[in-house]
Structure 1
Amino acid sequence: MATSSDSEKKQVMVIGIDDSEHSVYAINWTLDHFFAKNPSFKLVLVHARPSATSAVGFAGPGAAEVLPIVDSDLKKIAARVLENAKQICIKNNITDVVVEAVEGDPRNVLCEAVEKYHASVLVVGSHGYGALKRAVLGSVSDYCAHHAHCSVMIVKKPKTKH
């Protein structure tokens, strides 16, 4: 039998965020379309922060001096991404939100966040890469669509007409 606290428990929506305009568009679109009239989800914003070694791509001579600087920069970028996302939520009167930065590959970080928060929806922005770039870089949205254990919504920013 469900108690009153069970019926009031909100479903969780995880949104993957980064420092791209596609990510900002995805957050704004989602808040406009899902939270404007019915804030029925608890919102979790997750930023996948690359490790310093993966960002630099080498571990030879000189790495010991470079890695702490790169790590510091990556932490600053993550803090900026999270702060921007918080401001978007504040602007939209969203208060039931968790924001976090997790070190790792975005594909794994987002799928793990779905499991951690028992999310029923994962939202990711689409960078709109062509087939070649997608083959070389890998598509976070494609990976999540196939591996996340929840519904996945991919938000594409409309192309501007010239």
Structure 2
Amino acid sequence: MATTTEKQVMIVAIDDSEHSYYALEWTLEHFFTPFGSNSPFQLVVVHAKPSPTAAVGIAGPGAAEILPLVDADLKRIAARVLEKAKQICISKGVNDVILEVGDGDARNVLCEAVEKHNASILALGNHGYGAIKRAVLGSVSDYCAHHAHCSVMIVKRPKIKH
């Protein structure tokens, strides 16, 4: 009796930062073979598009006119980010990739994507914020490491020594 083995899912989080593009490139180089299907993983690249109100941080009179413009801009950014991710994958010889945009806070979008795809690994870059900035902004990687129902790999860029 022949059985087919379904590939495990690896999610790579991507935003419009060099840290996330580096994490994608590093993941492709270490887990995926160019132009082959030898990898045990199905790659899913996820971008979290913030809500217009979260991006602008305003409410009240005048917001109704601004929010559609902000939303259109956020959609253009998301399309650009995913197109760049697609081009990185193609340049590394990985063509079997699923590209997704999730709406909302990155922490929630990534944990929901892990559940949706039953992912085995979530890979994301590290912005390298200090303790104070992390305390104010929160750390997506820290949140995901504690709340995602899979292994979380935080890819750090090597420090440049002078």
Q: CA separation in 1, counterparts of 2:42 and 2:95?
A: 9
Distance 1:39 1:19 in 2: 26
Cα deviation code 1:65-121 (max 9, x no counterpart)? 111111010000000000000111111111221001111000010000000000000
Are the equivalent residues in 1 in contact too, given 2:48–2:101 (CA < 8 A)? yes
Alpha-carbon distance in 2 for matches of 1:132, 1:140: 15
SS of the residue 2:128 aligns to: coil
Q: Which residue of 2 aligns with 1:84?
A: 84
* Separation in 1, partners of 2:78, 2:70: 12
Between the aligned residues of both structures, percent identity stands at: 70
Is residue 31 of structure 1 aligned with residue 38 of structure 2?
A: no
Match of 2:13 among 13, 16, 24: 16
Letter in 2 for 1:11: Q
AA of the residue aligned to 1:4: T
Return closer, same or farther for 1:143/1:69 CA change in 2, 3 Å cut-off: same
Instruction: Judge conservation of contact 2:33–2:94 (CA < 8 Å) in 1.
Output: no
Matches within 5 A, 1:12-161: 12-36=9-33, 38-161=38-161
Contact 2:119 2:150 in 1 (8 A): yes
User: Structure 1 counterpart of 2:112, which letter?
Assistant: E
Shift of 1:4: 1.6
Paired with 2:7 and 2:47, the residues of 1 have a C-alpha distance of 22
Aligned residues: 159
Q: How many angstroms apart in 1 are the aligned matches of 2:56 and 2:115? A: 29
Q: How far off is 1:124 after superposition?
A: 0.8
Tell me how far apart the structure 1 counterparts of residues 136 and 83 of structure 2 sit (CA, whole Å): 31
Across the aligned residues of Structure 1 and Structure 2, the Cα RMSD in angstroms comes to: 1.3
Structure 2: stretches of 5+ with no match in the other structure: none
Contact kept in structure 1, 2:22 and 2:157, CA below 8 Å: yes
Secondary structure of 2:11's aligned partner: strand
Give the AA of the match of 2:27. T
